């Protein structure tokens, strides 16, 4: 049986520990909200591959160092610099990251994601595809990509396309974060556990099966907000275009609907239209692997879009929160502008073997 003495560091930013029947994986960049680098993705992939073959490791637990969250996404400063110079580092990173997302979705052992605090972008990718997804009263789960001139990726369009009604469309376009109850409602998480109980839960997984440990800690989640807003969300976001979605939102009496319309008008017009198309296509593509292939095509196309560099500049680099989108208006984004994101590029496609739905895990 493995013990805590087997602690390893595959990368300074990924800490590994095995104890009893569990393998513990900690993303360790707390000052950067545990944002993922390429080396971290490789380290997580290597650990999962090794633990899958280790009969002593029956459960895998992923968490984030520090007290702010599991993971705020990818290292978008690096993506900004790569996009500015026309490099290939981001495409290489996404290729390995999306493969990791698919691996997590099909992992044959219980994969327990502690989604405490901030869980955004790439953080969703390393958690919400897992078989046991735990949120707390501190959880803030989001895919905020349209605000930086990007499009939800890491399987985000797959997950959001499966959300009830048009909730996923609302979250994808606005980038709004959700708490525990709404994450559960949207299918982004499975269980609510008070944050103060997470250390005990994680420790107990070293000695007991997942279902036994969950039974001792799972509680009802505090009420959320989305369930009571389904009427206007489902009606407005069922529209065929972003322009019509905005018009419907503005015509509603609910303040939250009008706030959503105002929010959408601050996002990249191109990203909004590409995101809506990606979500609608994801519903027809089938398994996660096919959607990840589409996301890779879209993400690589975004590297040559002016909005990605400008969005990251405004939100992260200069922090003036005043991006100059190009085109600046929804009406100026042509159909061919959107189609470009979905056009296959020979020699730059991601190919993932599709194995259908995630495997059933016997626990």
Could you give the residue numbers annotated as active site?
A: 74, 122, 145, 153
Q: Where are the beta strands (DSSP E) in 285-360?
A: none
Q: What is the 3-state secondary structure (H, E, C) of 297-332?
A: HHHHHHCCCHHHHHHHHHHHHCCCCCCCCCCCCHHH
SS3 63: strand
Q: Are 352 and 102 in contact (CB under 8 A)?
A: yes
Give φ, ψ of 156 to 5 degrees: -65, -40
d(CA 104, CA 99): 9
What residues have CB less than 8 Å from 317, skipping those under 6 apart? 77, 80
Is 133 strand, coil or helix? strand
CB atoms within 10 A of CB 256: 15
SS3 131: coil
**Residue-by-residue DSSP string for 227-246:** GGGHHHHHHHHTSSSHHHHH
């Amino acid at each position: 049986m493995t013990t805590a003495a087997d602690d390893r560091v595959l990368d300074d930013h990924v800490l590994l520990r095995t104890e009893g029947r569990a393998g513990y994986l900690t993303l360790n960049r707390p000052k950067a909200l545990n944002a993922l680098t390429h080396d971290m993705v490789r380290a997580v992939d290597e650990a999962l591959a090794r633990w899958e073959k280790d009969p002593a490791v029956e459960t895998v637990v992923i968490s984030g160092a520090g007290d702010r969250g599991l993971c705020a996404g990818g290292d978008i400063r690096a993506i900004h610099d790569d996009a500015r110079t026309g490099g290939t580092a981001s495409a290489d990173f996404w290729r390995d990251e999306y493969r990791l997302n698919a691996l997590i979705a099909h992992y044959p052992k219980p994969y327990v994601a502690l989604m405490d605090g901030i869980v955004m972008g790439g953080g969703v990718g390393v958690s919400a595809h897992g078989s046991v997804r735990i949120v707390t009263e501190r959880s803030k789960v989001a895919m905020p990509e349209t605000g930086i001139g990007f499009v939800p990726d890491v399987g985000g369009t797959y997950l959001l396309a499966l959300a009830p009604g048009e909730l996923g469309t609302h979250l994808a376009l606005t980038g709004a974060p959700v708490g525990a109850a709404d994450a559960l409602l949207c299918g982004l998480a499975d269980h609510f556990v008070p944050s103060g109980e997470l250390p005990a839960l994680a420790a107990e997984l070293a000695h007991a099966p997942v279902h036994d440990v969950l039974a001792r800690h799972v509680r009802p989640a505090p009420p959320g907000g989305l369930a009571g807003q389904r009427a206007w969300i489902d009606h407005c976001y069922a529209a065929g275009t972003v322009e019509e979605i905005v018009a419907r939102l503005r015509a509603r009496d609910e303040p939250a609907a009008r706030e959503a319309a105002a929010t959408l008008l601050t996002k990249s017009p191109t990203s909004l239209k590409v995101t809506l198309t990606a979500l609608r296509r994801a519903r027809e593509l089938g398994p996660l692997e096919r959607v990840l292939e589409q996301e890779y095509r879209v993400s690589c196309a975004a590297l040559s879009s002016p909005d990605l560099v400008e969005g990251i500049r405004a939100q992260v680099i200069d922090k003036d929160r005043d991006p100059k989108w190009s085109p600046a208006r929804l009406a100026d984004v042509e159909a061919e502008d959107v189609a470009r994101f979905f056009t296959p590029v020979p020699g730059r496609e991601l190919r993932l073997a599709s194995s259908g739905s995630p495997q059933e895990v016997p626990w």
